[in-house]
Structure 1
Amino acid sequence: MQPRSLRRSLTAVMALVLGAGLAVLAPGTAGAASDGHAISPSTRFFVPPPAKGSVQQIAQLAKKGALKDATLLARMEAQSSAVWLTGGTPAEVGKQVRTTLAEAALQRAEPVFVVYDIPGRDCSEYSAGGATDQAAYESWVDSVAAAVGNAHAVLLVEPDSLGNEPSDCHLPASTYPYTDAERTAEVAYAARTLEKAPNAAVYLDGTNPHWQAVPNITARLLAAGVQGTQGFFLNVSNFRTDAESQDYGTWISDCIAMVTDPSHFAHGHPEYCASQYYPATVDDFSTWGLTTDWYNQNLNGAVPTTHFVVDTSRNGKGANTMAAYGAAPYDQSAATVATLMQGNWCNPTGAGLGVRPTADTGVPLLDANLWVKTPGQSDGQCDALGGVRAWDYTAYSRPGWPTDESGQAEFDPLWGQVDPAAGSWFPAQALQLARLATPKLG
C-alpha cells in the first residue's frame, strides 16, 4: 500500500494532468482577440488537449513516485501550443478546424494552426506526405479557410516549404515530380486564400537563422506573396536562440522593405541585402552587429513593416553544437562531430523548453513567441541511415547497443535507442525538455 502522503501527492499530480487535458472544457479569463489580421499583445492562445502519450508518461512517473518529473511534464502540457493540420480529406480537415475553434471558444482563446499538407512535404523524408497534387492541395486549403470563417486564428503556412523548395531536395524527378514554380504557386494560393478570413493572421515560412541567407528567403517570401499576409514565421521545430531569431527576422523585414521601395538602390534586388553569413559570420553571434549596422546604414528611408513570429518551444538552451561528443568518454572524430552538428535539428540532446507563448513581446515587429512544434514529439527516427547521425562504435559503445551494421544504421547513439517515428511521443526527450526549461517551469 502506498503511504498516505504519496497518495495525496499522486492525486494532486493527476489533477494537474486532468487540468491540462480538460482545459478545453473550462472557460478562462477573457483575452483580447486579434484585431483583424494583427495579433493583439493581450491575446490568450489556445491550450489543446495533452499530446498523445504524455498523459501515460505522467501517470507512470507519478505511480513510481517521481512526482517532481510528473509535475514538470503536466505543467508543460498545460501550456498553449499549435494544432497541426497534416492531411486528411477536405471534409476531415474542415471538421478538425471547427472542433478546435469550438474548444478554443470555451477557453476564450485564439488557436494557432499549422497548415502542413503541401505536395512533396519535407523532401519525402521523416515527415513525408502531403496532398497528391496542386489541385488536391488547393481543395484542402479551401476547406481550411471555409472552416476558419470569421473566427480569430493564427495560421502558419507550410513549415520548410520555402526553405526546402523541390530543387533543394536534390531528388530525381522520377520519384519526386515537383517543381519550384509549383511550390511557389501552392504557397501563394494558401496565403491569399487563408488571408481572406477577416480575423486570421497568416504567416509564411521564413526558415531559421542557421539556414537560408536573408537574400534567398526574402526572394522566396516575396514570390509567395508575403506582402499580402501578416508576415513570416521562424525557427519552427528548431533550436536557434531568441536573439538570433529576432535579428534574423528584423533583417528579413528590412530587406523586404528595401527591395520593394521603388526609390531604393536595392529595389528588385534582394541579392544586395546583407545576411547572417556576410558581413556577419553565422556561427559567431558576436559578429551579427555588423549586419545590423549594415541595415542601419542602408535602409535609406525604407520602412520595414513585415511582421514575424518565432517558435520558442525547444530553444531554451539554444542549438547543440555537438562538441561534447568529441571529448571523453565519447571520443568521436571531428568528422563525426561535424555530421552530428549538421543533424542537430533532429532530436538533439541537451534541449530545453523556451519562453512561454505570448503575444506581448516588446519587440515591434515580433508579433508572438509561440510553441509551434509540439514539445515531446519526435522529429523522426534520427539515425545514420537518414544521414543525421554518425558514430564510431569502436570509440564508444554501451552494453545492449547494436553491434551489427544494419542495427547501427537505424540506432540513435545520442539517446541510446531507436527513436520514435516523426510526430510520435518521445518520453526521454519530453522529460529532458521539461527539466531543462529556460525559464524554468515554475
Structure 2
Amino acid sequence: MRPRIRALLTAAAALGLTLAVPTVDAHSAGGFYVPPANPDAYRQIAGLLRQGDLADASKIAAMVRTPQAVWYGDQTPAEVRRAVAATTRDAARKGTLPVLALYNVPGRDCANYSAGGAADTAEYTAWIDAVAAGIGSRPALVILEPDSLALTPADCGQDDAQQTLTAARFAEVDYAVGKLEPLAATRVYLDTGHPNWHSVNSIVPRLIRGGVERATGFYTNTSNYQTDDAGAWYGTLISSCVAYAAAGGDPAACPNQWWPRADAQGWIDANVHADPADMAHFVTDSSRNGQGPWTPPAGKYTNAEDWCNPPDRGLGARPTADTGSALHDAKLWIKIPGESDGRCLRGTAGPEDPERGMVDPAAGQWFPEQALELVRFASPPIG
C-alpha cells in the first residue's frame, strides 16, 4: 500500500477513530469506501433476477459493491457540507477511505453533456469552503474537478482575448488546493485529462498554475478508457516533468508520452534527481478500461466521440493501492461504471446514438445496456 494512502487511513487514529489498514490488491479493495449505488442499478439487478438471469445480476451486484468515488456538484454550500460530512463519517466508521470527486467549477464541461457548476468564482470558493468544513479532520482522497485543467474556457472557445475566464479557472483550482490539502487527513489530486489528449509538455504548465506543487499530485484517465500501462507511464512522465520544472527546468524540454520509452527513461535518469517521496504522485481511473480505448469505424463519423459511451468496453482493474510504483498511489474507480457519459451523437443530428441505435441516457444517468457490457467484458472478470 502506498505510504500516502496509508497515511490517510492511519491519520484518523490520532483522532480516536479505529481504522483498519487492510491489504488491497487488484481483486480486493477493502481499504476504499463503497458508497450506496445508483438506485437504478438495484432496479436493473431486480429485473435481471426476475428474468432468471442470475449470472448478470451477480455481476452487476459485484460491480456496485466495488469501491468507487462519490461525486459532488451543483449542491448549495449547505447541502454539500452535510453530504460530504455524512460520507466521510460513514467511511470512517467502516474503516475505509472515501474518494470524493468534486465537480462544480464554473464553466464545467464547456456547457456540453455535463454542463453546470458554480456561477462564478465567489460562488465556487464558498462551495469549496463548505466541502472543507464537511471533511473536517476525517480522511478523504479528493479528485479535484475533472476536466478543469485539460479543458479550460480557452480550449472551449469561450474566453476573451485576455483569457480572463481561463485565468480564473487556474485561480479556482489553486484556491481549492490551498483550502483542502492542508486539512488533517486529506490528499488532493489535480486533473490531467488522459494519455491520448494533452502532451506532457502541455499539461505540466497547467498543473503548475493550478497548484500541483502544493497538492499531493494529479490523476489521469478519469471517465476515459486508456489502458493501465498508458496511464501509469503518462503519470510517471508528468511527475518527472513537474520535478524538473520545480528545479528550474523548462517543461517544453521534457519527454512526452509519444517519445520512445527508452529515450524518455534515459532523459529522466539524466535530468530528474528528486526523491520520489518528494515528487507529485498520481492516481489513475481503471473503472472502464478493461478493454482499452474504442477504435471507431474508419470514416464513419465526422466526430466519433470515442470517449462517449463507446460500445463493448469492460470494467478494469479493481481499486488498489498496490501499484508497484513509488509514484502511482492507486488505481481507483473514479467514474461510476454504469452511468452514462451523455447523449452521444457522434457528429450526427441525432437524437439517437448512431453507434448504438438508441438515445443514450443523459450524463450521470444509469445506462443498463452499457452496465451489462461493462460486466460482461470486464478484465479481470467480475462476479
TM-score w.r.t. structure 1 length? 0.78
Number of the residue aligned with 1:306 = 280
Could you tell me which residue of structure 1 aligns to residue 16 of structure 2? none
2:356 and 2:228 map into 1 onto residues whose CA distance is: 26
1:102, distance to aligned residue in structure 2 (A): 2.5
Partner of 1:82: 69
Write the deviation string for residues 67-116 of structure 1: whole angstroms up to 9, x where unpaired.
11111100101100000011211000001101112221332211100011
Would you say 1:272 and 2:272 are equivalent positions? no
Contact 2:92 2:139 (C-alpha < 8 Å) held by counterparts: no
* Corresponding position: 1:427 with 2:368: yes
Structure 1 residue matching 2:329: 3-state secondary structure: strand
Which protein has the larger Cα radius of gyration, Structure 1 or Structure 2? 1
Q: Runs in 1 of length 4+ with deviation above 6 angstroms? A: none
Compute the displacement of 1:41 (Å).
Answer: 8.2
C-alpha distance in 1 between matches for 2:45 and 2:365? 16
What TM-score do you get using the length of structure 2 for normalisation? 0.89
Tell me the secondary structure at the aligned position of residue 313 of structure 1: coil
Are residues 1:377 and 2:363 paired?
Answer: no
CA distance in 2, matches of 1:217, 1:41: 34
Give the letter aligned to residue 353 of structure 2: D
The answer for the alignment partner of 1:119 in structure 2 is: 106
Query: 1:357 aligns to what?
Result: 319
Alpha carbons of structure 1 residues 296 and 339: separation in structure 2 relative to 1, 3 Å: farther
Secondary structure of residue in 2 paired with 1:34: helix
Unaligned segments of structure 1, at least 5 residues:
1-30, 281-286, 326-333, 391-407
Match of residue 200 from structure 2? 214
1:415 match: 356
Tell me if the contact between 2:283 and 2:328 (Cα under 8 Å) persists in the aligned partners: yes
**Residues 30-429 of structure 1 aligned to structure 2 (within 5 Å):** 33-35=8-10, 42=23, 44-171=31-158, 179-262=165-248, 267=249, 269-277=250-258, 280=259, 287-299=260-272, 301-304=273-276, 305-322=279-296, 325=297, 334-336=298-300, 339-340=303-304, 343-383=305-345, 388-390=346-348, 409-429=350-370
Question: Match for residue 395 of structure 1?
Answer: none
Alignment-mate amino acid for residue 209 of structure 1: P
How many residues are treated as equivalent by the alignment? Answer: 361
* C-alpha contact 1:389 1:412 (8 A) present in aligned 2: no
Quote the Cα distance in structure 1 between the aligned partners of 2:216 and 2:23.
Answer: 17
Task: Give the aligned residue type for 1:430.
Answer: A
The 8 Å contact of residues 41 and 361 in structure 1, kept in 2 or not, is answered as: no
Check 1:165–1:145 CA distance in 2 against 1; reply closer, same or farther (3 A cut).
Answer: same
How many Å apart are 1:196 and its aligned residue?
2.0
Task: Please state whether the residue corresponding to 2:9 is helix, strand or coil.
Answer: coil
How far apart, in 1, do the equivalents of 2:22 and 2:201 lie?
30
Matches of 1:32 and 1:136 in 2, distance apart? 32
Query: Whose RCO is larger (CA < 8 A, sep 6+)?
Result: 2
CA contact (8 A) 2:103 2:145 kept: yes
Q: CA RMSD in A?
A: 2.1
SS at match of 1:114: strand
